[in-house]
Amino acid sequence: MAESATESTSDSSTKPAQSATDAISSPPQSHHVYPEIPIEIISEEEMAILDAALAATRSILPCAIRSASPSRLIAGGSPKTTIRSISLFTKRKLSASCSDIEDSYLRRFRRNQALGVTDLTGTEWCEKQMENVLCFGRRKVSKAMKAGQARHLQLEEEVVRKVRVRVESNEDKWALKLLNSIAGVNQFLFEGRTRELLLLGFVGGQWIVGIIDELRNAYAQESSDTGPILIDTKTRLRDTLPAEPQRRNGRLQLMLYKLLWDTVVKEGFPTGLFFDYFSLNRHYVLSQDVRDHIANAGIQAQTLEEVVRYYENTFKMLPVANDQLLLKYEFQKDQSIIAEIRFQHDHEWVLRKYKEIIEFWRNERDSEYTPEEERWKCRYCQFAKSCPGNPNFESSPPSSPPREASPPLAS
């Protein structure tokens, strides 16, 4: 979900020594030529109506903990006049209308919420796009995105059985989230593998939440480290690898997961800060349904504080994650593996990237446009027609990505 000129995507700061550490394995490729998949870009009129409906800033929950999509509002007044006035506004003041407000994006859009790892990777992709998504809303979910989400759900159901539990409070919700994490870790310890593991931690003064696609024990031929290997699967519309900026974004995602995992394992879980930041009552007695579910999981807990203690103690006994990370690309049409990219964790690089991204969210610096050599991203951005960072938005289309690249990832 979304990105930045001395920016966080400059060559010196964005590319760890991947050429030396990445190992790409792929099955034999067929010689079929697949046509370009058209990307649906919201029209100017649609964007104008969307801007009008969402101009009042709203909070967007992190992907890892969001619920149902918020309802859309309908702009009042004369449609013709509204579209013209907002269209002019979006072409001249789209970013300024959002960034000129002094309060930070964290306070405006993530108050009492954790930043999602997808918030962080989205910001690395294009900071201006993320800024506009926060202020004006995101495009509708495409069929490709839905297919990617369905595939992730299918993979999760291979190892996880879902049970519906009635909740009555935020304390109940958090108790179940943490309980699911505990259950996932236990599954990993007993079976050597789990999927869709929610992880919450306090990294560099900021609460971060992420859902690790898959983790498993390393095979003997893979690594001598004892820590789990973190894996992320990306589904593709075409059976080709994406452009380097997309692969970089995928590497960043996995490195952020490792940073989050290692922080919780080594530095613990600050329970006091947790209850204060999320405005939760540590002594709250959980609802009967939640307590029954917890008891069925073999945990003796009546309050949220007791569940939090189980969560903290569970991660204390775990090793840090493996330095080797695995990024998979899967063809959406038949679920065949396009390639598996193995690479080494680069601690200094991910810390530098994380610092740059948090500075954006705290409004400690101005947001930046994506570098000129990556302006082909504008082709897939709903804000391209009104973004000053796209110098060709009124004339020729933006430059193309490398030949093997394809539209943004479906998942």
| pLDDT tens digits along 259-290 | 999 999 999 999 999 999 999 999 999 999 99
Least confident of 5-14, 64-73, 108-117: 64-73
What is the pLDDT averaged over residues 77-92? 37
Integer angstrom CA distances of residue 78 from 74, 82, 203: 12, 6, 48
The angle at the Cα of 177, spanning 171 to 182, to the nearest 5 degrees, equals 120
Radius of gyration of the chain (CA): 22
Average pLDDT over residues 393-404: 50
Q: What gap in Å lies between CA 103 and CA 313, rounded to an integer?
A: 37
Position 397 pLDDT exceeds 70: no
Q: Which residue has the tokens 């943490």?
A: 178
Report the C-alpha gap between 409 and 411 in whole angstroms: 5
Average pLDDT over residues 12-30: 48
Strands 206-216 and 229-236 turn out to be antiparallel
Instruction: Using the predicted structure, report yes or no on whether residue 37 has a pLDDT greater than 50.
Output: no
Report the pLDDT value the prediction gives residue 379, as an integer from 0 to 100. 85
Question: Which tokens go with 183?
Answer: 């259950």
Percentage, residues of the chain above pLDDT 70? 64
124, 8 contact by CB (below 8 A): yes
pLDDT of residue 26: 52
> Which residues, other chains included, contact 379 with Cβ-Cβ below 8 Å and sequence gap of 6+?
39, 397, 398
Does 251 score more than 90 pLDDT? yes
Lowest mean per-residue pLDDT among 163-172, 296-305, 306-315: 163-172
- Measured CA to CA, the distance from residue 197 to residue 399 in angstroms comes to 38
Mean per-residue pLDDT of the chain:
76
Average pLDDT for 219-244: 91
Query: In this predicted structure, what is the pLDDT of residue 282?
Result: 96
Q: What is the pLDDT of residue 400?
A: 53
pLDDT at 382: 87
Q: What is the dihedral of CA 136, 137, 140, 141, to 10 degrees?
A: 150
Q: Is-contact 106 277, C-beta < 8 A? A: no
For residue 347, which of 194, 181, 203 has the smallest C-alpha distance? 203
Rounded Cα–Cα distance for residues 131 and 125 (Å): 11
Give residue-wise pLDDT tens across range 317-341.
Answer: 999 999 999 999 999 989 999 999 9
Q: What's the pLDDT at 322?
A: 97
Mean pLDDT, to the nearest integer, of 7-33? 45
Output the pLDDT for position 225.
85
Beta bridge partner(s), residue 343: 325
Confidence of residue 178 (pLDDT cuts 50, 70, 90): very high
Distance CA 305, CA 280 (A): 10
Average pLDDT of the residues in 281-301 = 94
Which of 359 and 375 is assigned the larger pLDDT? 359
Confidence bin at 410 (pLDDT 50/70/90):
very low
pLDDT at 52: 41
Q: What is the pLDDT of residue 142?
A: 58
Tokens of 282: 């540590």
Pick the residue with more confidence: 380 or 129?
A: 129
| 103 pLDDT tier (thresholds 50, 70, 90) | confident
Question: What pLDDT sits at residue 387?
Answer: 87
Question: Which pLDDT score, from 0 to 100, does residue 19 have?
Answer: 39
The distance from CA 111 to its chain's CA centroid, rounded to whole angstroms, is 18
A 10 A CB-CB count for 298 gives 9
Alpha carbon distance 155, 193 (integer Å): 12
Q: Give the per-residue pLDDT at 160.
A: 58
Higher pLDDT, 48 or 261: 261
| Secondary structure of 243-302 in HEC code, one letter for each residue | CHHHHHHHHHHHHHHHHHHHHHHHHCCCHHHHHHHCCCCCCCECCHHHHHHHHHCCCCCC
Average pLDDT over residues 14-19: 44
Question: Which residue did the predictor score with more confidence, 353 or 221?
Answer: 353
The residue type of 288 is: Q
The pLDDT of residue 200 is: 98
Confidence of residue 226 (pLDDT cuts 50, 70, 90): confident
Confidence label for 385 from pLDDT (cuts 50, 70 and 90)? confident
Query: What is the dihedral sign for C-alpha 301, 307, 313, 318?
Result: positive
